[in-house]
Chain A
Amino acid sequence: MSEHDHAAPEHAAHEHHEELSFWRKYVFSTDHKMIGIQYSVTGLLFLFFGFCLMMLMRWQLAYPNQPLPFLGWLFGEDRMPGGIMLPEFYNQLGAMHGTIMVFLGVVPLAVGGFGNFVVPLQIGAPDMAFPRLNMLSYQCYFVGGVVMLSSFFVPQGAAQSGWTSYPPLAEVNPFWGQTFWLVGMLFLIFSSLLGAVNFITTIIQLRAEGLTFFRLPVFVWAQFVTAFLLLLAFPPLQAAGVFQLMDMVADTSFFMPEGLVVSGQLASGEGAARAGGGSPILWQHLFWFLAHPEVYVLILPGLGIVAEIVANNTRKPLWGYKPIVYSLLALGFLSFIVWAHHMFLTGMGSTMSAFFQTTTMIISIPSVVILTALILSLWGGSIRFTVPMLFALAFLPMFGIGGLTGLPLGLTAPDIHLHDTYYVIGHFHYVVAPGTLFALFAGIYYWYPKATGRRMSTLLGHLHFWPSLVFMNGIFFPMLIQGLAGMQRRLADGGASYGHSQEVIWLHQVISFSAWGLALAQLPFVVNFFASLRSPKTAGENPWHATTIEWAAPSPPPHGNFATVPAAYRDPYEYSVPGEAEDYLPQFRPAEGAAAPAAVPA
């Protein structure tokens, strides 16, 4: 990742290059590649931390209400008296695991990391439209992350009411942890908003000559739609966060209903500290208005990455490029009108429930179109089982399981039985973990040569992939079974006190051992990632023989990205073109005898 590597003799983009100080180059950088790396590294560290939180939870769930060796000593008598995990501590781990994975891990890596690094390169731009805004976005994210992490150390610990922070429970206790959570969210949301503005403007305005919208790589389309989701869906959560913060610090009653009694005392109403009259449902509406589009934010970049890798490793164009693009747009639009399927059990009434059930069923159509197109893209392909392709291939059935298990949840009747059970946890983790996370790993293996100029070890890649695939299923498939048996989520003892859970409780140990196995399976990846940084820079510009514009830049690209400003001369996935000598025809290679590229049409 050395910025000293000016591979190209001329620099079309800028007139001078002064050596930047360490701080300007690595910490206060406005270069999209450096910011992308900052987001990626920070995101990966948070993913690791969130994973650790989960492994602590899994230990408790495998051996509920028993003293856990070493952890008791580590966390002290406050959190684990006599080595037995307090439910309050378990709930902190749970709430923060979700929050950190979603807002500090996956989205920053998928959007902030991959989006920032790849999108400008793929559209042939020298940087993002607003480089300083980009830097500010990262810094807001960083501050938000610090605030979130520090919430573990405040009196009574971190937020304990799930990543969903439903009032009244969230507002009752703990004061400091929940307040820190809210302040952290304000920073994170602001960071995302600035990023979204940057992405949309960049993709519209900075496309290279000849790169029309329908010649864009699917990855860019995915990031484009994702940015719109972030832009328009996050503000309601910002508003809700402000409301809840006011409830916390100014004793308002936005979400605190009349006559609420907590531990035998009137918490809101006549004579209490709070006036009452608020609506807990208001929080749920505003929260899920964001949080449903948010799950599409979690999956869309991954879908984009898989599309790129599938095209590249089948050596043929993607099947159904236009249906995929239209489906991405439809998915983005529809994701705004399905949110209350998370609220079927709040007593909304059958009219509202029927409406949201209908939109939810409709939104499965574009998802299926995209998945089908990706699967059909394999047909007749010359499949290369590179490490990125292994992860991309695994993504397909895993995302399929995730999507299919969502259907009973989107239908009101089965949701009565399945809501808030382990089935839900199994469903969404299938989509995010062996779904998105596998796609992100695929992306790391795929673009690592571009970012560093070096190749990762294939052997270590296999050692990472195969156990990961096995253990992912070992963790999340049993959860579907547990949920069908009725085992509820967010129980510190894993359902041990409920009769209906007894038959499936033993699965907790299967899951926990799979989780620890999954942790071990990541070691080859970590070793690979760092060790490969020391290998010689032999990747070259286009080691995968790919067709999109990022592979025209040197590896790693210098400041300004391209030696000469690139242009697009054809569609993005021209593989195995009849009559061509090679099995790929890059988008950026001029046609034989062609003069100027196509002018930039609307």
Chain B
Amino acid sequence: MSAAAIPYTVEPRPDTGLNNVKIGIWLFLASEVMLFGALFAGYILLRVGDPGFGHGSEELSIPMAFVNTLVLITSSVTMVMAWASCMRRDLGKFKLYMGLTVALGGCFMVIKYFEYTAKFHHGIFPSTSTFMAIYFTLTGLHAAHVLAGMIVNGYFWLPGAKMWETNWQQFTNRVETSGLFWHFVDLVWIFLFPVLYLLPVPYAHP
């Protein structure tokens, strides 16, 4: 069945002012808010409840995470510029910015890889402490979302860009939608970074 048969896939519905995809992605993001909320709830409860939660944050590399924060923020800018280029009907600029977004996402993943392997090299694993458990799980799930976003963006950068020719409006909407997901992933990291890396230790060293 062709997409045109389903109303408001591209055109906004008059009374809601929205098209289906925009609503869909915000609903999905709402569920993601609840997902990360539960993960943070776990962090809070373990931090408050476990005397051994301790000095894990001191073993994390603040410089690497600081760089990663800037990487993601920049990638959010390039993402929104990619959408703006779509709106300006500038395919060249779109390709540039979208490519940069994917590359910056890759940069994030590479830094994360080095972070993780450095830990493993020092014999620090998720099982080492509850702090490390929540650290690896939180950042790992976040990284999985970064990867998912990279795949979707990569699709729009290369093979998916064909839709530019056939249905420019729908393509632009899709880029905006993917952007919303990407910004959300950035937003999560904005909270993850200080919480995991920067908050002081709740208890003294054993």
Question: A15–B18 Cα gap in the complex (Å)?
Answer: 26
CA distance A253 to B130 in the complex (A): 6
Q: Residue B199 at the A interface, CB < 8 A? A: no
Chain A CB within 10 A, most for which of B6, B30, B128: B6
**New A-B contacts (8) at CB < 8 Å, excluding given A197-B28, A205-B18, A560-B1:** A193-B31, A232-B30, A235-B31, A240-B38, A252-B137, A254-B130, A277-B53, A282-B45
Known contacts A275-B127, A277-B46; decide if A196 and B20 are in contact (CB<8 Å).
Answer: no
Q: Confirm or deny: A602 has a beta carbon within 8 angstroms of a beta carbon on chain B.
A: yes
Let me know if A14 and B31 touch, CB within 8 A.
Answer: no
- Name B26-83 residues within 8 Å CB distance of A: 27-28, 30-32, 34-39, 41-42, 45-46, 49-53
Q: Are A254 and B46 in contact (CB under 8 A)?
A: yes
Contact B35 A236 (CB under 8 A): yes
Query: Which residues on the A side are within 8 Å of B50 (C-beta)?
Result: 258, 277-279
Q: Which of A193-237 contact B (CB under 8 A)?
A: 193, 196-198, 200-201, 204-206, 231-236
User: Interface stretch among B9-17, B90-98, B147-155?
Assistant: B9-17
User: Residue B184 at the A interface, CB < 8 A?
Assistant: no
Q: Is B129 an interface residue (CB 8 A)?
A: yes
Q: Using Cβ atoms and an 8 Å threshold, which residues of chain B touch A446?
A: none
Contact A234 B13 (CB under 8 A): no
Give Cα A250 to B50, complex, Å.
19
- Which residue in B9, B13, B19, B34 is a CB contact (below 8 Å) of A235? B34
- Which bucket holds chain A's interface residue count? 35 or more
CB contact under 8 A between A206 and B42, given known A242-B137, A277-B52: no
Residues of chain A within 8 A of B34, CB atoms compared:
232-233, 235-236
Instruction: Select B6's contact among A127, A233, A289, A600, beta carbons within 8 Å.
Output: A127
Report the 10 A-B pairs with minimum CB-CB distance, sorted nearest first.
A239-B38, A235-B35, A252-B133, A236-B38, A251-B127, A235-B34, A277-B50, A277-B130, A129-B20, A277-B52
Asked if B204 lies at the interface with its beta carbon under 8 angstroms from chain A, I say: no
Q: Is A296 part of the contact surface with B, judged by Cβ < 8 Å?
A: no
- The residue that B1 contacts in the complex, of A31, A243, A258, with Cβ under 8 A, is A31
Residue with the highest number of chain B CB atoms closer than 10 Å, among A13, A125, A129, A133? A129
Q: For the complex, what is the distance from the CA of A31 to the CA of B5, rounded to whole Å?
A: 12
Is there an interface contact between A196 and B127, defined as CB atoms closer than 8 Å?
no
Q: How far is the CA of A242 from the CA of B145 in the complex (A)?
A: 14
Would you give 24 A-B contacts (Cβ < 8 Å), ordered by A? Answer: A129-B9, A193-B31, A201-B23, A204-B23, A205-B7, A206-B6, A206-B8, A232-B30, A235-B31, A235-B38, A236-B35, A236-B37, A238-B38, A242-B141, A243-B42, A246-B136, A250-B126, A251-B126, A252-B130, A258-B50, A274-B127, A282-B42, A286-B38, A601-B15
B180 to chain A, nearest CB (A): 13
**A13 CA to B3 CA in the complex, in Å?**
11
Chain A 256-275 per-residue mask, 1 if CB under 8 angstroms from chain B, else 0 = 00100000000000000111
* Known A231-B27, A252-B133; contact A201-B20, beta-carbon cutoff 8 A: yes
Determine which of B20, B46, B51, B136 lies in contact with A130 in the assembled complex, contact meaning CB atoms within 8 Å: B20
Q: Tell me, yes or no, whether A79 is within 8 Å of chain B by CB.
A: no
Contact A14 B5 (CB under 8 A): yes
- Whether A315 sits at the interface, judged by CB under 8 Å, is no
Least Cβ–Cβ distance between A142 and chain B, in angstroms:
21
Is the CB of A570 closer than 8 A to any CB of chain B?
no
Minimum CB–CB distance from B60 to chain A (whole Å) comes to 17
Query: In B120-138, which residues have CB < 8 Å from any A CB?
Result: 125-130, 132-134, 136-137
Bound: A234/B65 CA distance, A: 30
The answer for the CA separation of A442 and B42 in the assembled complex, in Å, is: 42
A524 within 8 A of B: no
Q: A464 interface residue, CB < 8 Å from B?
A: no
Residues of A within 8 A of B5 (CB): 13-14, 126-127, 560
Q: Output the residue of A196, A204, A275 with the most chain B CB within 10 A.
A: A275
B194 within 8 A of A: no
| CA of A276 to CA of B18, assembled, Å | 49
Query: Is B46 in contact with A279, judged by CB distance below 8 angstroms?
Result: yes
Distance in angstroms between the alpha carbons of A30 and B141 in the assembled complex: 30
Q: Which residue of B lies closest to A286 (CB)?
A: B38
Q: Is A131 an interface residue (CB 8 A)?
A: yes
Rounded to whole Å, the gap between the CB of B147 and the closest CB of chain A is 16
B200 interface hit (Cβ, 8 Å): no
Given the complex of chains A and B, what is the CA–CA distance between A165 and B2 in angstroms? 44
Which B-chain residue is minimally distant from A251 (CB atoms)? B127
A208 to chain B, nearest CB (A): 10
Chain B residues, CB < 8 A from A281: 45
Chain B residues lying within 8 Å of A246, measured Cβ to Cβ, are 126, 133, 136-137
Name the B residues within 8 Å of A13 (CB-CB): 1, 5
State whether the Cβ of B160 lies closer than 8 Å to any Cβ in chain A: no
Rounded to whole angstroms, the CA-CA distance of A253 and B129 in the bound complex is: 7
Give chain B residues whose Cβ lies under 8 Å from the Cβ of A253. Answer: 127, 130, 133
Instruction: Tell me how far the C-beta of A532 lies from the nearest C-beta in chain B, rounded to whole angstroms.
Output: 29
Question: Is the C-beta of B24 less than 8 angstroms from some C-beta in chain A?
Answer: yes
Question: Do the beta carbons of B39 and A129 come within 8 Å of each other?
Answer: no
How many angstroms between the C-alpha atoms of A30 and B2 in the bound complex?
A: 11
A600→B52 CA distance, assembly (Å): 59
A289 touches B46 (CB 8 A): no
